[in-house]
Amino acid sequence: MSDADKIQPTGYEVIQGYLNTIDSSPGVYRMLDSESRVLYVGKARNLRARVSNYARPSGHSARIARMIDNTASMMFLTTRTETEALLLEQNLIKQLKPKFNVLLRDDKSFPNILVTDTHDYPQIKKHRGAKKEKGAYYGPFASAGAVNRTLNQLQRVFLLRDCSNSQFETRTRPCLQYQIKRCSAPCVGKISAEEYGQTVRDAQKFLSGKSTGIQTRLAAEMATASEEMEFERAAALRDRIKALTQVQTTQGINPKGVEEADIIGLHLQDGQACVQVFFIRSGQNWGNHDYYPRVGDDVEAAEVLEAFIGQFYYQRDPPRQLIMSHEIENPDLMADALATKINRKVELLVPQRGEKAELVDGALRNARESLARKMAESATQTKLLKGLAEAFDLPKVPERIEVYDNSHIQGAFAVGAMVVAGQEGMTKNQYRKFNIRGEELTPGDDFGMMKEVLMRRFKRLIKEDPERKEGHWPDLLLIDGGAGQVSAVRDIMREYGVEDIPMVGVAKGVDRDAGKEEFYRTGKPVMALRHNDPVLYFIQRMRDEAHRFAIGTHRAKRAKSVGATPLDDVPGVGAARKRALLAHFGSAKAVARANLHDLKAVEGVSGALADTIYAYFHEKG
Q: What is the pLDDT of residues 249-259, one digit of tens each?
A: 444 456 778 88
Q: Assign 599 to helix, strand or coil.
A: helix
- Is the model's pLDDT at 1 over the cut of 80? no
Confidence of residue 443 (pLDDT cuts 50, 70, 90): low
400-560: same fold as 261-281+288-373?
A: yes
Q: What is the pLDDT of residues 515-551, one digit of tens each?
A: 678 999 988 899 999 888 899 999 999 999 998 988 8
Distance CA 473, CA 332 (A): 42
Distance CA 611, CA 274 (A): 64
**Model pLDDT, residue 250:** 45
Q: Residue 291: beta bridge partners? A: 275
Distance CA 77, CA 26 (A): 9
* Residue 533: C-alpha distances to residues 297, 403, 460, 467, 514 (Å): 34, 20, 35, 36, 13
Residue type at 219 in one-letter notation? A
Distance CA 559, CA 415 (A): 13
CATH code of 566-618, in short, is 1.10.150.20
**Model pLDDT, residue 542:** 92
Q: What is the pLDDT of residues 575-605, one digit of tens each?
A: 778 878 887 887 778 888 888 888 888 888 8
* Residue 403: C-alpha distances to residues 6, 381, 418 (Å): 42, 16, 5
Q: What is the helix (H) or strand (E) element at residue 495, kind and residue range?
A: helix 483-495
Q: What is the helix (H) or strand (E) element at residue 413, kind and residue range?
A: strand 412-422
Q: Give, as one character, the DSSP assignment of residue 9.
A: P
Give the distance, in angstroms, between the CA of residue 337 and the centroid of all CA atoms in the same chain: 26
Q: What does the domain layout of the chain look like in residue ranges?
A: 3-96, 112-250, 261-281+288-373, 400-560, 566-618
* 296 against 48, higher pLDDT: 48
Topology classification of domain 400-560: Nucleotidyltransferase; domain 5 (3.30.420)
Average pLDDT, the chain: 85
Q: Which CATH architecture has domain 3-96?
A: 3-Layer(aba) Sandwich (3.40)
Distance CA 318, CA 345 (A): 10
Q: What is the pLDDT of residues 95-153, one digit of tens each?
A: 888 989 998 877 677 888 898 888 889 988 888 887 888 888 887 888 787 788 888 87
Judged by phi (left if over 0) then psi (alpha if -120 to 50, else beta), residue 299 lies in: beta
Q: What is the mean pLDDT of residues 338-356?
A: 92
**Model pLDDT, residue 440:** 64
Topology classification of domain 261-281+288-373: Nucleotidyltransferase; domain 5 (3.30.420)
* 614 against 350, higher pLDDT: 350
Backbone angles phi, psi at 618, to 5 degrees: -115, -10
- Is the model's pLDDT at 284 over the cut of 90? no
- Is the model's pLDDT at 566 over the cut of 60? yes
pTM: 0.72
- Is the model's pLDDT at 320 over the cut of 90? yes
